[in-house]
Amino acid sequence: MTLSVALQHNQGAFCLDVAFDAGPGVTALFGRSGAGKTTIVNAVAGLLRPDTAHITLDGVTFNDTATFLPAHKRRVGYVFQDARLFPHLTVAQNLDYALRFGARPRGRDRIIEMLGIGDLLARRPATLSGGEKQRVALGRALLADPRLLLMDEPLAALDGPRKAEILPYLDRLKTESAVPILYVSHAVEEVARLADHMVLLTDGKVVRHGPLMDVMADPAAVPLLGVREAGAVLRATVEAHGDDGLSTLRVAAGPLQLMGVEAPVGAEIRLRVLAQDVLLSLEHPTGLSAQNILPVTILAIKSGDGPGAAIALDAAGDTLLARVTSRAVASMDLAPGKSVFAVIKATSIAQTAISGGVISGAKPAP
Amino acid sequence: MMLDAAGWEALRLSLLVGVTATAFALPLAIWVAWLLARGEFWGKAALNALVHLPLVLPPVVTGYLLLIAFGRTGPIGIFLEETIGLVLAFRWTGAVLASIVMGFPLMVRAIRLAIEAVDPKLEQAARTLGAPGHAVFRTVTLPLILPGILAGGVMGFAKAIGEFGATITFVANIPGETQTLPSAIYALLQVPGGEDTAISLVIWACILALSAVVLSEWLARRVAARIAGA
């Protein structure tokens, strides 16, 4: 399955001009508010007719110079930021809404079970919490048997606990459903957890596009993601759970100690290592409280506009990102090809699941 | 409260005219309200003005214009009589037409406000779920504007029962054919000794109007509660 998008659209002074392809899995459209993300998904859904566009999904033309396939014929599921449940219908009637228009009721029970909404079926949307509404909205979109699922900041309207309530369901959706997803977000954490591919948007233009781990590890992407949010995402395997609450995770370059890992031994998870929390040392440091030290080789150095520099590090095949000052780069004589040690302040490690067990609230080792 | 035969006839005729006018006007009013609320087309302002014209014109003028257009020598009147054999001038059917025209702006207004209160985002969501335009209206918009339709219907019905100026100009005041409640009250007040019957008719007019309002309130409340859910 491939979604191919190329479109230009002018909205007053704002000019959107983007082109990208999205394959199977979750593709994140990431950018600040006003970067044009919602305009793109609306054009893909058929809710907006761009000035010029060429949009195809698996050979079906949605939009080109001669064609504009109306929204109701696209079979594209859409989960909005506000759930947009029909207030005059029960949850069950909302879920079955698409069946009135020829959608096949595929896997209804499985979807209801996956989203944990079986107990809500007789209720009205007005009586649901924000998180429940969003789960029902997700179920409603899935029951329309879509060829593609669009999610426009589905968590942005929810507070922290509600977000945490929904995320595991999105993890399950990702692993259990074959439907490709275009996921709009301005939250790096959500994207790092869920996305396989990433399209970085700034002022209506695509500035980075590629596999999530590549984009997240690109030092040039640091200012686009925000210096506090930037950081590489690594694959790690849970190796052991210690009696002291510390767990051992293995990444390509060696073991890391983390606390609060709930995934079972053998599970593969995602680790997000924030760039600002990776220190560099020329020698193997001793007498440090930090336990997580990996030998790395400098791949690239990208100086920012301010006093900082972003450094990409090769850690036995994985790429890590570190953010240090330009002064340190000079005094330590850092340059591509140089071997150094990365000290990972373990408070910096955010974990997200790749598949299998879901981790939430895990805390890294101090 | 007791009415003579002519009084009962006026009451019956008023109800007949009110129900018929409302039944015919409501679907058209829903369509026009939807056009004005959601449509974007050339001449929208003109349509809006035309719909509201009877509200600002003196009813006698509206009635006279109806007579010119729909009378037995008027262009539309001749056409209707020749094609479907429908005669409006000085018939109860003409009273229905006058009521429709006079009540129409009130209906459209109430329904248009209801449509504008429906979040277009819900209609967008319906489209992404596979609903074509007419189905979006039938399954989402229409149920949500039901309270507005009820309110508009009651307004139109009340207007039809009370319509006087345009009706008397267009179809006169013929007992048993076009003499509705207000025409009957007016006629009774023109002759000495008619006040007693007039008072009875006035009480009946009040009862009808109040029942319509109470009924619509009750229905609107029930519908609103059903929509809000509990």
Q: What is the DSSP string of B65-131?
A: HHHHHHSTTSHHHHHHHHHT----TTSHHHHHHHHHHHHHHHHHHHHHHHHHHS-HHHHHHHHHTT-
Question: Would you state the pLDDT for residue A349?
Answer: 53
Q: Does B139 touch chain A (CB under 8 A)?
A: yes
Mean pLDDT along residues A35-62: 91
Question: Would you state the pLDDT for residue B38?
Answer: 87
Q: Which residues of chain B lie closer than 8 angstroms to A100, CB-CB?
A: 131, 135, 139
* pLDDT tens digits, B72-104: 888 999 999 889 988 888 899 999 999 999 999
pLDDT tier, A356 (very low <50, low <70, confident <90, very high otherwise): very low
Q: Does A88 touch chain B (CB under 8 A)?
A: yes
Domains of chain B, by residue range, sit at 5-228
- Residue B193 burial by CB count (10 A; 0-12/13-18/19+): exposed, middle or buried? exposed
Edge-to-edge order in the sheet of strand A231-241:
A254-259, A246-251, A231-241, A268-274, A349-353
CA distance A48 to A74: 13
My answer on whether A327 and A178 are in the same domain is no
Question: Per the domain annotation, does A154 fall within a domain?
Answer: yes
Please determine, for residue A65, whether its predicted confidence score (pLDDT) is greater than 80.
yes
Strands (E), A186-230: 197-202, 205-211
Comparing CB atoms, the residue among A74, A77, A87 nearest residue B229 is A87
- In terms of DSSP bridges, do strands A246-251 and A254-259 run parallel, antiparallel, or are they unpaired? antiparallel
My answer on whether A52 and A198 are in the same domain is yes
* pLDDT tens digits, A66-91: 889 999 999 999 999 999 999 999 99
Question: Would you state the pLDDT for residue A230?
Answer: 87
Residue A72 and residue B121: Cβ atoms within 8 Å?
Answer: no
Question: Per the domain annotation, does A225 fall within a domain?
Answer: no
Contact B92, B178 (CB under 8 A): yes
Q: Does B144 touch chain A (CB under 8 A)?
A: yes
Greater pLDDT, A291 or A135: A135
CA distance B76 to B15: 26
- Nearest-by-CA chain A residue for B229: A124
Question: Per the domain annotation, does A238 fall within a domain?
Answer: yes
Task: Report the gap between the CA of B134 and the closest CA in chain A (Å).
Answer: 11
* pLDDT tens digits, B111-131: 999 999 899 999 999 999 999
* pLDDT tens digits, B5-24: 888 899 999 999 999 999 99
pLDDT tier, A348 (very low <50, low <70, confident <90, very high otherwise): very low
Question: Would you state the pLDDT for residue B229?
Answer: 55
Question: Per the domain annotation, does A365 fall within a domain?
Answer: no
Q: Does B58 touch chain A (CB under 8 A)?
A: no
My answer on whether A29 and A176 are in the same domain is yes
My answer on whether A140 and A255 are in the same domain is no
My answer on whether A86 and A178 are in the same domain is yes
Question: Would you state the pLDDT for residue B130?
Answer: 92
pLDDT tier, A357 (very low <50, low <70, confident <90, very high otherwise): very low
My answer on whether A179 and A69 are in the same domain is yes
> B5-228 has which fold?
MetI-like fold (1.10.3720)
- CB-CB neighbours of A266 under 10 Å: 10
The structure tokens 């002074």 sit at A13
Comparing CB atoms, the residue among B119, B129, B143 nearest residue A97 is B129
Q: Does A78 touch chain B (CB under 8 A)?
A: yes
My answer on whether A154 and A20 are in the same domain is yes
Question: Per the domain annotation, does A361 fall within a domain?
Answer: no
Range of the domain at A60: 3-216
Look at residues A216, A242, A269 and tell me which one is the last residue of a structural domain.
Answer: A216
Q: Does A82 touch chain B (CB under 8 A)?
A: yes
* pLDDT tens digits, A188-227: 888 888 899 999 999 889 998 999 999 998 988 888 888 8
- CB-CB neighbours of B37 under 10 Å: 19
Contacts of B134 (CB under 8 A, 6+ apart): none
Half-sphere exposure of residue A193, counting CA atoms within 13 Å on the CB side?
24
SS3 annotation, B167-230: HHHHHCCCCCCCCCHHHHHHHHHHCCCCHHHHHHHHHHHHHHHHHHHHHHHHHHHHHHHHHHCC
Query: Positive or negative CA dihedral for A141, A147, A149, A150?
Result: negative
Q: Does B226 touch chain A (CB under 8 A)?
A: yes
My answer on whether A347 and A291 are in the same domain is yes
Look at residues A185, A216, A247 and tell me which one is the last residue of a structural domain.
Answer: A216
Q: Which residues of chain B lie closer than 8 angstroms to A45, CB-CB?
A: 128
Residue B124 and residue A46: Cβ atoms within 8 Å?
Answer: no
Task: Report the gap between the CA of A252 and the closest CA in chain B (Å).
Answer: 44
Question: Would you state the pLDDT for residue A346?
Answer: 56
My answer on whether A196 and A264 are in the same domain is no
Question: Would you state the pLDDT for residue B230?
Answer: 43
Q: Which of A41, A47, A88, A96 is the best mutation test for B, with the most CBs of B within 10 A?
A: A88
Comparing CB atoms, the residue among B128, B229, B230 nearest residue A76 is B128
Question: Would you state the pLDDT for residue A354?
Answer: 47
* pLDDT tens digits, B140-172: 999 999 888 988 998 899 888 889 999 999 998
Distances (CA, A) of A4 to A62, A63, A198, A206, A207: 10, 11, 14, 14, 17
Question: Would you state the pLDDT for residue B1?
Answer: 62
The structure tokens 């006169």 sit at B172
pTM of the predicted protein model:
0.82
Percent of chain A with pLDDT over 70: 94
- CB-CB neighbours of A205 under 10 Å: 15
* pLDDT tens digits, A273-283: 888 889 899 98
Please determine, for residue A362, whether its predicted confidence score (pLDDT) is greater than 90.
no
Question: Per the domain annotation, does A15 fall within a domain?
Answer: yes
Tokens read off for A223: 């200012």
Cα B221 → chain centroid: 22
Look at residues A188, A216, A244 and tell me which one is the last residue of a structural domain.
Answer: A216
* pLDDT tens digits, B28-70: 999 999 999 988 899 999 999 999 999 999 999 999 999 999 9
- In terms of DSSP bridges, do strands A3-11 and A52-57 run parallel, antiparallel, or are they unpaired? antiparallel
My answer on whether A197 and A257 are in the same domain is no
Choose among A199, A168, A152, A234: nearest CA to A28.
A199
CATH code of A66's domain: 3.40.50.300
Q: How many domains does chain A have?
A: 2
CA distance B5 to B184: 12
Task: Report the gap between the CA of A259 and the closest CA in chain B (Å).
Answer: 43
Residue A71 and residue B135: Cβ atoms within 8 Å?
Answer: no
Contact B95, B178 (CB under 8 A): yes
Q: Does B120 touch chain A (CB under 8 A)?
A: no
Residue A88 and residue B121: Cβ atoms within 8 Å?
Answer: no
Question: Per the domain annotation, does A359 fall within a domain?
Answer: no
My answer on whether A204 and A287 are in the same domain is no
Q: Does B149 touch chain A (CB under 8 A)?
A: no
Contact A341, A280 (CB under 8 A): yes
My answer on whether A196 and A262 are in the same domain is no
Mean pLDDT of chain A: 86
Choose among A154, A224, A152, A233: nearest CA to A189.
A233
